[in-house]
Amino acid sequence: MALYVYAITAASPEPGLDGLEGVGSDPSPPRTITAGPLAAVVSDTSEEIRPARRDLLLHQAVQERLMATGSVLPLRFGYVAADEETVRAALEADTDARLAALERLRNCAEFHVRASQGDDGPLLRRILDEVPEARDLAARLRGGDEDPRLPLALGELMAGQVQARQLALAEDLVGALEPYARDRVVREPTGDDFLNLSLLVADDRTDALLETWAELGRRLGDDVVLRFSGPLPPYSFAG
């Protein structure tokens, strides 16, 4: 029977999985498959597992239980192995690297940081005040200059200034937060975001991180929308 795989952890001590429910429409409870010092947490499945909200939450619940009791290498939602032999072969293929990763992630969690522009009025006004070329173009438009190139020139200049300032702010945010992390991953932002950051944070640094995050939110106010999530399983650092 196929197996849905949630995570890899140490075989000893055995992770406590009592009371947890597996994913799928006919779920079986999560259990472990061991190979030497490693264990994979799995549940039986006979169907393709799709990312329905219920199953996403069940997947997350297993990860959180494992994090509460020890170090974990979480797998992202949807990984299915053909059988127990396949799982054991995977555990045996790179045992030393996985043990090292488990040790590196011990007593750590992942935090996500995203930032997007909030009220852009103050930013645009600062650009007009601080950039003479932008100020001159805006004054010509207000004065009735009918040069058809003016709106495009001003728009391109303002957009470039906004992007440059957002990039600088993203660097400042990373610089303010990364001292609390053992590791970090900066990804390409999507949508309206200009920062997409993942931090690996030890438990004893979490409070200090949260205090700095709160201070950043107070300092930036409504100009920037900061979104912070965690603690989460360390997906970005499990490889």
pLDDT greater than 90 at residue 52: no
pLDDT of residue 92: 92
Q: Using the predicted structure, report yes or no on whether residue 168 has a pLDDT greater than 90.
A: yes
Mean pLDDT in the chain?
90
Q: What are the domain boundaries of the chain?
A: 2-106, 109-237
- The CA distance from 51 to 49, in Å, is 7
How far apart, in whole angstroms, are the C-alpha atoms of residue 212 and residue 15?
34
Question: Is residue 120 scored above 90 in pLDDT?
Answer: no
Query: What's the CATH class of domain 109-237?
Result: alpha beta
- For residue 121, the tally of other CB atoms under 10 A from its CB is 10
Give pLDDT, residue 118. Answer: 84
Q: How far apart are the first and last CA of the chain?
A: 27
Choice between 23 and 13, residue whose per-residue pLDDT is larger = 23
Tell me the C-alpha distance between 215 and 227, whole Å: 14
- Best CA proximity match to 73, nearest among 90, 58, 52, 86: 90
> How many other C-beta atoms can be found within 10 angstroms of the C-beta atom of residue 58?
22
User: Please, is 26 exposed, middle or buried when counting C-beta atoms within 10 Å of its C-beta (0-12, 13-18, 19+)?
Assistant: exposed
Q: Which residues pair with 43 in a beta bridge?
A: 4
- CA distance linking residue 173 with residue 73, whole number of Å: 27
> Is residue 2 a contact partner of residue 78, using CB atoms and an 8 Å limit?
no
Kindly tell me if the per-residue pLDDT of 235 is higher than 80: yes
Amino acid 207: pLDDT: 95
pLDDT at residue number 69: 84
* 0.85 surpassed by pTM: no
Beta bridge partners of 72: 9
